[in-house]
Structure 1
Amino acid sequence: MSAPLLPRPDQALHDRVLTELGMDHASVPIPAPAHRVPLPSRLATADLAWASVASVASVAGISAELDPDRIALSYRSDRLLTVDDTAPSVWSPYSGFWRSRDGWVRTHGNYRHHAEALLRGLGITDLDAISSAFAERTSTEAATAISSEGGLAVVVSTERPAEDAALRRTPLLDVRGVEGPGRAPLAPEIPLPLSPVRALPLSGIRVLDLTRVIAGPVCTRTLALLGADVLRIDPPHLPEAEWQHFDTGHGKRSALLDARSSEMHALLAQADVVVLGYRPAALDRLGFSPEVLAERYPGLVIAQLSAWGVDHPERAGFDSLVQAESGIALVESADGDRPGALPAQALDHSAGYLLAASVVALLERRRRDGGTWQVRTSLRRIAAELLGMPRNAEPAPERDVDPAPHTAHFAIGGRRLATARPALPGLDFRAPHEWGADQPRW
């Protein structure tokens, strides 16, 4: 008797996502890609990317065929980006792998305040001394010293199968109806506005974007692509890198505002969705925890993303750091010594698409059942999912892809911008606005 056929890894992940979102996955199977998504790695990065984008297409009712090449270039959008025909430098010299006395440390210093904290933690004043400063310390000593100063550094670790298996027993997308601490009643049914264009299911939906750095912005960029009115709010004291905003700011307005201001609460009162990308503890201090938001603004759909999960509320992080600490970097090592990396910031991009799928599904659930809804996930939870998927013995050869048909061009404030076109078929991005150029109002 032959063994039953197991579902494709991408199909299995897609089905799990739809089940967690309360949908019948049997009614929306995803076809196999025409060829593998060209994101070659030992881990199942291609399957993760295909399933993540397909999940958005499924919940948004997009039936057009997905393009594996388009998905790969979208996941690597920073490599396609040019501003005035020049590719920006996307990694700071303070970000990378550093050999320590007993292994490796991964740092992230793209933001100036993180780079300055790294130097303070190591007790040095310039980049020239950084290699020797790491070589003098163990990995744990270096990472602890940097973190204690507010910098970002992790020990590059081997994978921990028992920890990953425990994480995989928790929801990938933790969905729940939320009532605030005062047990405010759940909102009555709030209809999802009918779109005048069938391809734009979120027309009329207001999304407040409180996120930074790839994952959250990819989520809200996708919601804008689906027709939502997305307003991104940033703190005035924390400038964003221009290239990073241009890479993920498509279709959104951008404004600067103190989160504690009355204007912020006015925006929340009129929003349908808020997407949160800051550390859980920072949100608590601002009074923006999902429970508090649910109590104050019944009917809101609340999407929360963090690097390490709500069990680590004070801990900041980025995709590259989660790859390093979770074991992904050593799995992807080319020589068994120096750590490697996934072929894209795949944890970030996948988190963005999966959160976007969740928002679309929960807006429909709110339309049908009423209520206030929350979904949360983390880069670490997605890393555990990837580490549990079937692996490749060796990465596939790199596939040459002509970027021309997958590139969009915009003129923004006298600048020429070239960016990746959307992974979702049949839709095109609207141009990003300049960072902070809009007023904080709907």
Structure 2
Amino acid sequence: MSSPTTGLHSPVPLSARLPVGELAARSVAAAGAALAGTPNSLPDPQRIAAAYRSDRHLLIDGEQPDVWSPLSGFWRTADGWVRTHANYPHHAVALRAGLSLDTHASSDDLRALLAATSTPHAVAAVRARGGLCVPVRREDPATDTALRQHPIVAIERLGNAPKRALPRSNASRPLDGVRVLDLTRVIAGPVATRTLAFAGADVLRIDAPTRPEFAWQHLDTGHGKRTALVDIASESELVESLLHDADVVVLGYRPEGLRRFGLSPQLLGERHPHLVVAQLTAWPGADSPRGFDSLVQAESGIAWCESPDGETPGALPAQALDHSAGYLLAAGIADALRRRASDGGTWFVSTSLRRVAAELLGLPRRPESAHDESAQPPTNPETQSFTVGGHDVITVVPAVTWPGAPTRYASPREWGADTASW
């Protein structure tokens, strides 16, 4: 991972035992440099810290949303610890089913059950029902070293295709006219496509009508994008039409699901050789299971590195794997678009949260305490206001920048309010 951060006047104030501020600075700077096509990217450390903790500064009608389910978190087992993720209703249903908890089970019920259950049994039982539960593991330097032998963002040529110039590039909007089909959810993918929209791309996000997105999550990362509801299983012709006229497709769903719907990178490259195909997964490889930032922190050893007492797992001060992966993926997409313009070809851009975790675990660690007050993120960051669907929304301003870049995001749209067309 390159380090285009020369010019930062102070460290990014994100307090942690691991150098998460350095990871954040490098990731945001990489996005700015790639979008502008120049290394002269000088992001502001305060803005980076606020952007990485944007959910904690988000206000909807003056209220800060509650972003965690009571069934999500660290739980002590009979022989260790697990971390669960049950924010989405279908994941909560799967978690309860795997552990034979009734629909009214509380966090106390879950705690008591897991305390009498072994870690392997709990993980296997939840996963068997499609739920999300991982063991909290210690750091494995050999695994991280092996992961770092691969690029943090891989850019590969999938096949041949004619050159295609960037439509209308300019300093303020270097991706003006580029069409991006967004098939992502949760933080990392939406951060990537929000960054592309900020650079002028026409981003259309499509979601299944049966899986509503949390309002807070969409409003926090939906800036500048249009949003439509499409059942990709029954409306495959519409999806193919959108892909035919797109420049980029960004994939954030499980590889297994993408293959089932004919949307794997290889199949997309064969049918639409003009595309830049970008894919984000939780773990590396074509068979990555479901996963989220918090789960990768637990599985990779980050949770123990951030333990407050050596006995209880901890967490980074932000969903830093998600945000970093999003900015880095946006950087890779911008790079691939320029390669397509100069060399032609079909391009595949990919990264994973686990690969980003390996990068963090390999950065030089500072001796400062995680409770160093000078490293605390801003409590009153610069914000901007919108009215979306009749609601007053306040979000932080962009962290990514380049010479001539705008200083504000365009407004998010109401989720699902647009038509699925370019």
Q: TM > 0.5 between the two? A: yes
Match of 2:68 in 1: 91
**Does 1:253 find its partner at 2:226?**
yes
Structure 1 residue 382 corresponds to structure 2 residue 359: no
Which residue number corresponds to residue 109 of structure 2? 129
For residues 27-75 of structure 1, give each alpha carbon's deviation from its aligned partner in whole angstroms, at most 9, with x where no partner exists: xx53142111011111110110000001011112274631100000000
Residue in 1 that maps onto 2:2:
14
**Are the equivalent residues in 1 in contact too, given 2:303–2:315 (CA < 8 A)?**
yes
Alignment counterpart, residue 108 of structure 1, candidates 72, 80, 85 = 85
Tell whether 2:326 aligns with 1:346.
no
Structure 2: distance between partners of 1:265 and 1:194: 24
Report whether the alignment pairs 1:140 with 2:120. Answer: yes
Query: SS where residue 364 of structure 2 aligns?
Result: coil
Stretch moving more, 121-130 or 271-280: 121-130
Mapped to 2, the partners of 1:64 and 1:52 lie a distance apart of 11
Residue 77 in structure 1 maps to residue 54 in structure 2 = yes
Matched, 1:192 2:166: yes
Aligned pair 1:223/2:196, yes or no? Answer: yes
Q: In the alignment, what sits opposite 2:216?
A: 243
Q: Tell whether 2:280 aligns with 1:292.
A: no
> Which one of the candidate residues 311, 322, 328 is aligned to 2:302?
328
Q: Distance in 1 between matches of 2:377 and 2:268?
A: 44
The counterpart of 1:208, out of the listed 181, 188, 192, is 181
Give the equivalent residue in structure 1 for 2:238: 263
Question: Partners of 1:248 and 1:238 in 2: how far apart?
Answer: 17
Does structure 1 retain, via aligned residues, the 8 Å contact 2:297–2:303?
yes
Instruction: Report Cα offsets for 1:208-242 as digits up to 9, x if no partner.
Output: 00000000000000000000000001011111111
Aligned pair count reads 409
Question: For the residues of structure 2 that align with 1:378 and 1:330, how far apart are their CA atoms?
Answer: 20
Residues 420-439 of structure 1 aligned to structure 2 (within 5 Å): 420-425=396-401, 426-427=405-406, 428-439=408-419
Mean alpha-carbon deviation: is it higher for 79-88 or for 58-67? 58-67
RMSD over aligned Cα, in angstroms?
Answer: 1.4
Contact kept in structure 2, 1:217 and 1:352, CA below 8 Å: yes
Q: Could you say which residue in structure 2 is the equivalent of 1:164? A: 144
Say which of 307, 319, 323 aligns to 2:293. Answer: 319
User: Contact 1:14–1:54 at 8 Å: present in 2 too?
Assistant: no
Question: What is the deviation of 1:300?
Answer: 0.3
Task: Name the CA distance, whole Å, in 1 between partners of 2:171 and 2:7.
Answer: 25
Partner of 1:120: 97
Matches within 5 A, 1:37-52: 37-52=12-27
Q: Secondary structure at the match of 2:2?
A: helix
* Equivalence for 1:412: 388
Unaligned ranges ≥5, structure 1:
1-12, 16-28, 180-185
Mapping 1:363-402, distance limit 5 Å: 363-393=337-367, 394-395=369-370, 397-399=372-374
Question: Are positions 1:356 and 2:330 aligned together?
Answer: yes
Q: Per the alignment, do residues 170 and 402 of structure 1 end up closer, same or farther by CA in structure 2, a change over 3 Å counting?
A: closer
Q: CA deviation at 1:405?
A: 5.2
- The letter of the residue matching 1:96 is G
Q: Distance in 2 between matches of 1:198 and 1:167?
A: 35
Q: How far apart, in 2, do the equivalents of 1:59 and 1:67 lie?
A: 17
Report the alpha carbon displacement of residue 312 of structure 1 after superposing the two structures with TM.
Answer: 3.2
Letter paired with 2:385: H
Structure 1 residue 396 displacement after superposition? 5.4
Secondary structure of 1:207's counterpart equals: strand
Whole-angstrom distance in 2 between the partners of 1:235 and 1:103: 37
Whole-Å Cα distance in 1 between the matches of residues 113 and 371 of structure 2? 37
Deviation at 1:102, TM superposition (A): 1.1
Residues 48, 386 of structure 1: 8 Å contact kept: yes
Separation of aligned partners in 1, 2:398 and 2:7: 19
* Distance in 2 separating the partners of 1:318 and 1:68: 25
Match of 1:278 in 2: 253
Alpha-carbon distance in structure 2 between the residues aligned to 1:320 and 1:116: 19
Q: Structure 2: which 5+ residue stretches go unaligned?
A: none
Identity of aligned residues (%): 53
* Structure 1 partner of 2:132: 152
- Identify the range of structure 1 (366-375 vs 387-396) with the bigger mean alpha-carbon deviation: 387-396
Give yes or no for contact 2:5–2:42 (8 Å, CA) kept in 1: no
Q: Deviations over 1:371-408 (max 9, x none)?
A: 11001110011111111111123325244565555211
1:183-219 Cα offsets, whole Å, 9 max, x none, are: xxx2111111223x52110000000000000000000
| Partner residue, 1:308 | 283
